[in-house]
Every structure is written in structure tokens, then in C-alpha cells.
Amino acid sequence: MTASIALKTPAKVNPILEVLGKRADGYHELALVFQTVALYDELDFSESPRGLHLEILESPFPLAADDSNLILKAAKLFFTEILQEERGVQIRLKKKIPLAAGLGGGSSDAAATLLGLDSLFKSQEGAGKRMALAAQLGSDVPFFLTGGTALGTGRGEKITAWTPGPEMALVLVKPQEGLSTPAVYQSGKAVMTKGDRAHDFKAVLREGNMAKIGRALFNGLEPATFFLRPEVEAIKKRLLEAGALGALVSGSGPTVFGLAESPSQARHIGAEMEGKGHSVFAVQTVPVGAI
């Protein structure tokens, strides 16, 4: 029987994202909080006689299955750096997480590919090697190797796991058009801060008061996102008017998430946001990564 591994790989939001300054290598120094949420892509890995193939079984939007896809980049890196030989594998994807949305879907898929192939081919390499490869693939990829709640520093690739925060009910609202992360940084509208909000957020989560969590949300890239896409600011305003305890652009956007008092309120707010040309998801935070 052909060996296979199936994984569900989650999206993320960033309750805190601080831009500390620009580095000599051209990247920006960050301090940010990651949190996985229950919106999943599905990946299936199975051995095949030869070659590396990616089949997209389901996607609500156009998605390339070529060398630009992070899944294939991760697979090739795994074979080169860990197995050190090419093996035949068929990868099948059901895509649910929107693209260019600030939700980390591509990064999550890349991390799941490293984990899935590691399990499929029973690699003996440790977590440290996977983390190093993940950092080569993208700044968000290392976080998704473990998921849950974590502090990210450096470019975001240096991960310090936190005790999972309280379960939170969220509404994600994604405009139809995506947004380029480089464009957000290049706009010159990001707000620079010192990193205190990210580090202090750990105590806010530990207290578990949803109203305080809502008031603590912060994203230094949000003004840049609003500058490039004014309709995103209008989405945040509507979420707050609909009853969200707090609302924030996730990552570089354009998705905005609203914090609700309960799952039922999240569904109610989500229903209020439907029918306006956006993708709307009522989700809850989850304490783990790929499952």
C-alpha cells in the first residue's frame, strides 16, 4: 500500500505587529505576536514512482502549481537539504486560506510540507534543521512548524513559543483584491515603535479579559495598509460598529479581524459583514499548528 500523510494547515493572525526599524540587509526588524486560527488548507502527501507533482484539487481563486509555489519550493529544499536525494511524491492541495491576505496561508503550507515529507520519509533530522530550512523559505514559515501562540522577532523568523492564549472568537474579513507586502513596507507610512507592546501582550493574554485584549491590539503596518487601500479602514470601522471588541489589520493586510465576545457573536458579526464583496470567516483561535 502506498504510504501517505494528510495534514490540515492553519491560517494565522497577528494581534500585535511592531516595526522597529529598517535593517542593513534591507529587511525590517519586527516584534510581533502570532496566533493560529481554525481556517485550514488541506494537504495530502503520498509516495509516487518518480518525480515531484503538485495537484490543486480545490481553490476558490487561481493558484499556480509551478516553481513559484511555496509548497514545491519547500519540497525541493527538503529533498536537497534533508534527504539529500530526490524521491517520488504526489502532493494534493485543497486551498481554503485566501492568497495575499495577511493570513500566512502560503507560509503555513510550506511548513506543513516540511513536516509532512519529514513524516512520510521518516527523516532523522531534528527540529533545529527544519527551523533553519523554514527560515530560508520565508519569515512566517518557522512559526507554522509549531503554531499556537508565539512571539516573533528579527524578520519574524525567530520564534519564542508562549503558553497558548485563551480561546478567542474572531471574524476575518478579506477584500477581494489582495495586497503586496513589499508595497506596504515601501509606502513609507508604517509607524515605528520599540517592541514593548509585543512583549507586554503576553501578560494581557494571560489575564484573559477579552475587552482588554481588544484594546491592546496594535499593528504598525495598519496606517500603510489604509493608505494603499482606504476600503480596508472602512471594513475595520464596520466591524467595530457591528460589536467587535477590537479590530485590526492582520500582518500587511488586507484582511481585518474582529474580536468577538463569543463564537455566536462572531457568527452574528460575520453575518452583518456578508454581502459586501468580501470573504468572511467566523473562526476560533487554536493552540497548535498543522494537524
Ramachandran assignment for 253, one of left (phi > 0), alpha (psi -120 to 50 degrees), beta (any other): left
* Active-site annotation holder among 109, 118, 140, 174: 140
Measured at the CA of 160, the angle between CA 112 and CA 164, to 5 degrees, comes to 75
| Widest distance between CA atoms in the chain | 56
- Concerning whether 12 is annotated as a catalytic residue, the answer is yes
* Active-site annotation holder among 12, 95, 174, 236: 12
What does the DSSP assignment read for the chain?
---EEEEEEEEEEEEEEEEEEE-TTSPEEEEEEEEEEEEEEEEEEEE-SSSEEEEEEE-SS----STTSHHHHHHHHHIIIII-S---EEEEEE--SPSSSSS-HHHHHHHHHHHHHHHHTT----HHHHHHHHHHH-TTHHHHTT-SEEEEEETTTEEEEE------EEEEEEESS---HHHHHHTS-PPB--SHHHHHHHHHHHHT-HHHHHHH-EETTHHHHHHH-HHHHHHHHHHHHTT-SEEEE-TTSS-EEEEESSHHHHHHHHHHHTTSSEEEEEEEB-S-S--
- Concerning whether 196 is annotated as a catalytic residue, the answer is no
User: What are the residue numbers of the active site?
Assistant: 12, 140
